[in-house]
A = this chain, B = another copy of it.
Amino acid sequence: MATAPLRKDAERNRERLIQAAQQVFAERGLDVALEAVAKQAGVSIGTLYNRFPTRADLVRATFADRVETVGVLAEHALGLDDPWDGFVYFVQQVSQLQAADRGYNELAGRGGAPTTEQPTEDQLRGYDLMSQIVERARDGGRLRPDFTLEDMAFITWSVTRTIEATAATSPTVWQRHLALILDGLQTPAAHPLPEPPLTRDQLAGIYRNC
**A188 CB to nearest B CB, Å:** 7
Complexed CA–CA distance, A166 and B170 (Å): 28
Q: Which residues of B contact A191 (CB under 8 A)?
A: 179, 182-183
For A175, list chain B residues within 8 Å (CB).
Answer: 194-195
For chain A, residues 18 to 71, give those with C-beta under 8 angstroms from any C-beta of chain B. Answer: none
Number of interface residues of A (CB under 8 A): 42
Q: Mark A158-190, 1 if CB is under 8 A from B, else 0.
A: 101110011011101101110111111110111
Q: Is the CB of B157 within 8 A of A202?
A: no
Taking a contact as CB atoms closer than 8 A, the residue among B162, B184, B186, B190 that contacts A181 in the complex is B184
Known contacts A154-B180, A183-B190, A191-B183; decide if A206 and B166 are in contact (CB<8 Å): yes
Residues of B with C-beta under 8 A to A112: none
* Chain B residues whose C-beta falls within 8 Å of the C-beta of A157 in the assembled complex: 158, 161-162, 165
Chain B contacts for A184, CB-based, 8 A:
180-185, 189
Contacts A109-B161, A162-B154: A183 and B189 contacting too (C-beta < 8 A)? yes
Is there a chain B Cβ closer than 8 Å to A5's Cβ? no
What are the residues of chain B within 8 A of A72 when measuring CB–CB? none
Q: Per-residue CB proximity of A195-210 to B under 8 Å, as 1/0?
A: 1111000100110010
For the complex, what is the distance from the CA of A119 to the CA of B161, rounded to whole Å?
24
Chain B residues whose C-beta falls within 8 Å of the C-beta of A168 in the assembled complex: 206, 209
On whether the beta carbons of B197 and A176 are closer than 8 Å, the reply is yes
Judged by a CB distance under 8 angstroms, whether A151 is at the interface is yes
Given A151-B180, A157-B165, A161-B161, 13 further pairs, Cβ under 8 A: A154-B162, A154-B176, A154-B177, A157-B158, A157-B161, A158-B177, A168-B209, A173-B198, A180-B181, A180-B184, A181-B181, A182-B184, A184-B189
